Amino acid sequence: MATTFRVAEAAQLLGVSDDTVRRWADTGRLVASRDAAGRWLVDGEALARAARELGRNMAEVGPTAAHSARNRFPGIVTRVVKDAVMAQVEMQAGPYRLVSLMSREAADELGLAPGTSAVASVKATNVTVELPAGGPPTP
């Protein structure tokens, strides 16, 4: 049986408002159906497609000569802690907090400080996938 999500769950996963999910369902941009009580249920596969589309649109960070990292998060630097050798740089990219450890020299060369617009490029060889407590939503 296909997984479905209620509007609030779909909105949270997409990072948009409940009203946006309802509008997308009304216009057919997001495949959804109504349950017996008249509430929208968003199809899980359709939600995944919408998330990929949003991710592609949000990941556009401007031209680069080349890059190998596929996970690029435009955001804003919120905190920088430096010592003599290293720097800890915190960023907020939408709802995501990202932390990078780099040399102080690199942070200084980039001029990183709270309020700086930046792009976090993440290339991971190991990504852990977890399910929310209670397991996946039930249809």
pLDDT in tens, 59-107: 455 666 666 667 788 777 889 999 999 999 998 887 778 899 999 999 9
Note the pTM of the prediction, 2 decimals: 0.56
Q: Is 30 exposed, middle or buried (0-12, 13-18, 19+ CB in 10 A)?
A: buried
Q: What is the pLDDT of residues 117-127, one digit of tens each?
A: 888 888 877 77
Task: Specify the domain boundaries for CATH 2.40.50.100 within the chain.
Answer: 71-122
- Alpha-carbon gap, residue 126 to 136, rounded angstroms: 22
- Note the pLDDT of residue 1: 43
Query: 71-122 maps to which CATH number?
Result: 2.40.50.100
Query: 4-58 maps to which CATH number?
Result: 1.10.1660.10
